[in-house]
Amino acid sequence: MDKRMDEKTLHAAADWWTRLRDPSEAARTVEHWLEWIGADDRHLEAFEQVTELGDRLGSLDDLTRQQFMREFARPVAVPPAASPRRWLPLAAAAAAVLVLVGSYVGWSRSGAQAVPQVYSSAIAQNRSVTLPDGSTVALGGASTLTTRFSHGERRVELGGGEAFFQVKHDAQRPFIVNAGTLFIRDVGTAFDVRRTGQRVSIAVTQGRVQIANNAGVVGSTDTGSLEAGAGELVSYDPATSAMSIGKITPEQATAWRSDRLEFIDEPLGVVIANVNRYSARPIHIADADLKALTFTGNIKTGAIDSWLSALPQVFPLRVSEDTSQVTLSDAEPGQKPPSPAKQ
């Protein structure tokens, strides 16, 4: 364990590790977890250590895992010349974390068919992941993914953020992605999923996907489901519970992997929520009416400040900033309205 990790940080990391794997936890848990990760660089480091420990325990048989836990938590005699105050709290914390993680692994094996695995990325960090079945996933900034693979199916939940899937097809084990109230089933596919709260967009770059909301059955012919193919963009609006289909190029669908965020007629509130996954300073919309304004265009993740400074030329708003955050609010009375320039 890193010597900088204290008992409180390790315990908190283990608690988040278990909460993110609980299917009954609300999506807002992910938002709180991201806030905790962003509060201190050591938090992500501790979480990664706990995740690695959980992965190792999950690969052991029950007898070996229990023996390992007993050996790790067993008191060790300390020579008189040693200075136990520096390492004993860490050893105790590590033992407690080990027991917590080990208990969860044991519970998962006895109470569920699939052991969940959580993959996450920090703000402004894209990450590539290879899943146990050989499928690959590219995670966008501040995104989290939970997998539950069993003998009969492969289930993946996008807790928040964005992910591009290149699925290894297996007719005997369907690959299903859950994003909010939507279920997306692979049909030999490469596709991108972005989740902003309960709002979801799916861009198919190869093959086809079947999409349904939680009131329908994936692949059924009722109005709650549909099928989309390469070059199609499916957008789900939770306000109307409706899915719409548009066109999109593979370059637009995966632009974020080249440090460019693409938006097509999307509410400014959704745009800002996704820009926040790459912004060094959080951006806050103070006046609710601004959230409904629609934006089409692209934003370079390395030039977010420049984009923000240009917003008053496009929308009736003003930008206020300090060292901790940026605030968007309604334009002041008498402020010159924006010119009809292209967004």
Residue 298, judged by CB atoms within 10 A of its CB (0-12, 13-18, 19+), counts as middle
Per residue in 234-288, pLDDT (tens digit) is 999 999 888 999 999 999 999 999 999 999 999 999 999 999 999 999 999 999 9
Q: Calculate the CA 35 to chain-centre distance.
A: 12
Task: Please state, in angstroms and rounded to a whole number, the distance separating the CA atoms of residues 267 and 49.
Answer: 38
Taking Cα atoms as reference points, which of 279, 277, 294 lies closest to residue 194?
277
Residue-wise pLDDT tens digits, 168-203: 988 889 999 999 999 999 987 899 999 999 999 999
Contact 121, 143 (CB under 8 A): yes
**pTM > 0.75:** no
